[in-house]
Amino acid sequence: MTAATSPHAVTFVLITVFLDMVGFGLIMPVLPALIEEVGHMSLADAAYIGGWMFAVFSVAQFAFSPLMGNLSDRFGRRPLLLLSVFGLGVDYLFSALAPTIFWLFVGRAIAGLCGSSYVIANAYIADVTAPDARARAFGLMGAAFGLGFVLGPAIGGLLGELGPRVPFWVAAAISMLNLIYGWFVLPETLPPEKRRGFEWRRSNPFGAFAVFRRYQGVIPMCVVLFVFFFSSSIYPAIWPFWGMAKFGWSEAMVGISLAAFGIITALFRGWRPGRWSRGSGNGGSASWALSRRQSRPWATALPVRCPPS
Phi/psi-derived region of residue 113, left when phi > 0, alpha when psi is between -120 and 50, beta in every other case: alpha
Q: What pTM was computed for the model?
A: 0.74
One-letter identity of residue 150: V
Of 142, 79, 81, the residue nearest 115 (C-alpha): 81
Residues 6 or more apart whose CB falls under 8 angstroms from that of 197 comprise 74
Cα–Cα distance for residue pair 241/234, rounded to 1 Å: 11
Higher-confidence residue of 35 and 182: namely: 35
DSSP 116: T
Q: What mean pLDDT comes out for the span 210-227?
A: 77
One-letter identity of residue 231: S
Of 95, 124, 98, the residue nearest 108 (C-alpha): 95
pLDDT above 80 for 67: yes
Specify the length of the chain in residues: 309
> Which one is the CATH code of 9-190+223-267: 1.20.1250.20, 3.20.20.70, 3.30.1280.10, 3.30.70.20?
1.20.1250.20
DSSP assignment of 76-106 equals: -HHHHHHHHHHHHHHHHHHHHH-SSHHHHHH
Residues 6 or more apart whose CB falls under 8 angstroms from that of 27 comprise 34, 92, 95, 156, 167, 168, 171
Of 148, 177, 155, the residue nearest 266 (C-alpha): 148
For residue range 109-138, what is the model confidence (pLDDT) as tens digits?
888 887 666 777 777 887 777 777 777 777
pLDDT above 90 for 45: yes
Cα–Cα distance for residue pair 153/258, rounded to 1 Å: 6
Buried b (16+ CB within 10 A) or exposed e, 280-289: eeeeebbeee
Q: Give the model's pLDDT for residue 116.
A: 62
